[in-house]
């Protein structure tokens, strides 16, 4: 799993060189962590505690964040996807991303089995395959963040997990938590007109 994680880590880290720990892979002793503060992915991996620059491989000075705090959020709404449903989501989100390329900061909102994409004054929706195990679950998130995490999970060997659980806060503000077997991920929830 660490090979797949390292391959995809470039999508989870920051490109802001003024924040060196966010441009690096963090090894906490029990986990490997990649985050740009908007999205975070954590996998189990035993190693020495260190922060390693993704590009150069050099050791970076800094504090390894406590991942228990962002990943222990008590979300109330839940979506469960099997691997086939997850692949459908990736395809649908990629279509939405392609359609919205000319927009600034497109976000997607999942609600009532529809994927709604919006940016400033433009909105459209696409019907999703019935993938929900609850009708109440809904969330808004930047499309690239969700694609990054789901594409990483799609490449992880099937022996690690059979389904993923996406939990969201009921008030629409907070973090989306994604669990797939031993893998944990978090995305900062988008603030939309409905949840501001």
User: What is the model's pLDDT at position 195?
Assistant: 37
Distance, in Å, from the CA atom of 3 to the CA atom of 8, rounded to the nearest integer, reads: 9
From 11, 38, 71, the end of a domain falls on: 71
- 7: containing domain: 2-71
CB neighbour class for 45 (10 Å; exposed up to 12, middle 13-18, buried from 19):
middle
User: What is the model's pLDDT at position 106?
Assistant: 58
User: Quick one: 112 and 145 in the same domain?
Assistant: yes
How confident is the prediction along the chain (196 residues), in pLDDT tens digits per residue?
999 999 999 999 988 878 888 889 999 999 999 998 889 999 999 999 999 999 899 999 988 877 777 666 676 777 888 898 888 888 888 877 776 666 555 566 666 656 666 655 555 554 444 444 444 555 667 778 889 999 999 999 999 999 998 887 765 566 888 999 999 998 876 544 343 3
User: Quick one: 91 and 45 in the same domain?
Assistant: no
Judge whether 115 lies within some domain: yes
Judge whether 14 lies within some domain: yes
Domain count, the chain: 2
The edge-to-edge listing of strands for the beta sheet with 139-142 is 122-127, 114-119, 107-111, 139-142
Residue 128, token pair as written in the block: 């999703």
User: Quick one: 64 and 87 in the same domain?
Assistant: no
User: Quick one: 87 and 184 in the same domain?
Assistant: yes
User: What is the model's pLDDT at position 131?
Assistant: 42
User: What is the model's pLDDT at position 109?
Assistant: 67
User: Quick one: 58 and 86 in the same domain?
Assistant: no
User: Quick one: 59 and 140 in the same domain?
Assistant: no
User: Quick one: 81 and 23 in the same domain?
Assistant: no
Any idea what the CATH number is for the domain that residue 34 is in? 3.10.150.10
User: Quick one: 15 and 109 in the same domain?
Assistant: no
User: What is the model's pLDDT at position 149?
Assistant: 94
User: What is the model's pLDDT at position 189?
Assistant: 64
């Amino acid at each position: 799993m660490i090979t797949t994680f390292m391959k995809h880590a470039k999508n989870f880290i920051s490109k802001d060189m003024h924040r060196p720990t966010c441009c690096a892979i963090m090894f906490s002793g029990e986990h490997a962590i990649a985050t740009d503060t908007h999205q975070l992915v954590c996998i189990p991996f035993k190693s020495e505690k260190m922060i390693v620059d993704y590009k150069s491989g050099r050791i970076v000075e800094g504090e390894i964040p406590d991942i228990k705090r962002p990943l222990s959020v008590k979300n109330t709404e839940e979506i469960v996807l099997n691997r086939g449903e997850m692949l459908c989501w990736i395809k649908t989100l990629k279509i939405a991303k392609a359609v919205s390329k000319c927009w600034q900061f497109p976000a997607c909102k999942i609600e009532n089995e529809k994927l709604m994409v919006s940016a400033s004054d433009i909105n459209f929706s696409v019907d999703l395959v019935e993938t929900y195990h609850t009708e109440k679950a809904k969330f808004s998130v930047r499309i690239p963040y969700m694609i990054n995490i789901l594409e990483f999970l799609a490449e992880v060997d099937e022996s690690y997990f059979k389904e993923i659980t996406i939990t969201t806060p009921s008030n629409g503000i907070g973090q989306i938590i994604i669990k797939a077997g031993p893998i944990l991920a978090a995305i900062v929830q988008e603030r939309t007109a409905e949840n501001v």
